[in-house]
Chain A
Amino acid sequence: MHTTDMSGNKKAEAVAEDPAKVAAFERRVANDEFIEPKDWMPEAYRRTLVRQMSQHAHSEIVGMLPEGNWISRAPSLRRKAILLAKVQDEAGHGLYLYSAAETLGTSRDEMTEALLSGKAKYSTIFNYPTLTWADIGAIGWLVDGAAIMNQVPLQRTSYGPYARAMVRICKEESFHQRQGYEIMMHLAAGTEAQQRMAQDALNRWWWPSLMMFGPPDDKSPNTEQSMRWRIKRDTNDELRQKFVDITVPQAEAIGLTVPDPALKWNEARGAYDFGDVDWEEFYAVVKGEGPVAKERMQARVKAWDDGAWVRDAARVHAEKRAAAKLAAE
């Protein structure tokens, strides 16, 4: 569903590499050429990409849980079908992203193990609970909206397989965003109880959505290198501002109030001023202290462990059939 730069202060360690190769690589990237799996690339570029892409894939997979929580309770047949299709899209996104990341030499199983052991991160946003139906609207509208801001530039990211995966993903995300807003619009125009539900969801999801763009630029040490490598194309703060500027009028249009007393249109900047994000909360959630982080990981570990016998059976069966076929030839 999205990417957040959560790399903190860990600078990629220097590896001795042929300066001529590095220079040629940098030139290609600066010229906006795509780097393909068989091309030479600096080790740090490869590592950064595996981290970013697998984190993105994990976010899609963990992101199925908060919305999956409402499939059985969707309030109409139409809403149920849309939600099922949306969560299924997320599984599909996870699949393309894992496949794209595998082209860099790390297997899906290795990436999955890293997620389940807590070594790999996923988006902080999915560590918040979905309490009411309005949360399904808020996730589509805000979380997918923020994801689109992050992802549209990635369609031009330097690594070819990642960029191509993003083209397809972005198309689906923009549908998700619209259906989420449509749910909110409907609730905001509904009964008093529905309006309360919608406002409450906005109150709870607003700040975590702003956190999705990652730490402020002055606390994001890898941004410069990632931008030079075209792995990232805008800074965290630029994207966050863009999101606020687009989303605030959408909230106003349906009569909802953004829960930020400091929010104010700044005529001179042509942009909204907004309050400070609680970065302490963000870093705590990154560390695994989100309100439902334990539940999310428990669900993923359980699905993986409970499914082990199924995956084993599929593998053993394929081996048996291959052996039988060979014997028959």
Chain B
Amino acid sequence: MTDVTFWGYVIIISAVAIGSGLAMIAGIGPGIGEGYAAGKAIEAVARQPEAENKIRTYLILGDAIAESTGIYSLAISLFLILTFARPLFNLILAR
């Protein structure tokens, strides 16, 4: 590594921390989407109780797919921390 000063590492780590925090904003989407889907599912079951099994299956599958954007942001933020922040952090501790 070129002779990045101590403060250089601090800036990088703090930037990565802010970035991974911001990445988690995408968690709003699945929350709203799945809440809406569950509400509609309950209405559907209320309207047709005998179709509950099919509705439950579609609800769970729909939730799993709706959740993907939230999971992408989770993966990105964890990835950022584990690939950038941790090695640099160990570098600072090793100094």
Q: Tell me whether A and B are bound partners.
A: no
Residue numbers of A with Cβ under 8 A of B are none
Residue numbers of B with Cβ under 8 A of A are none
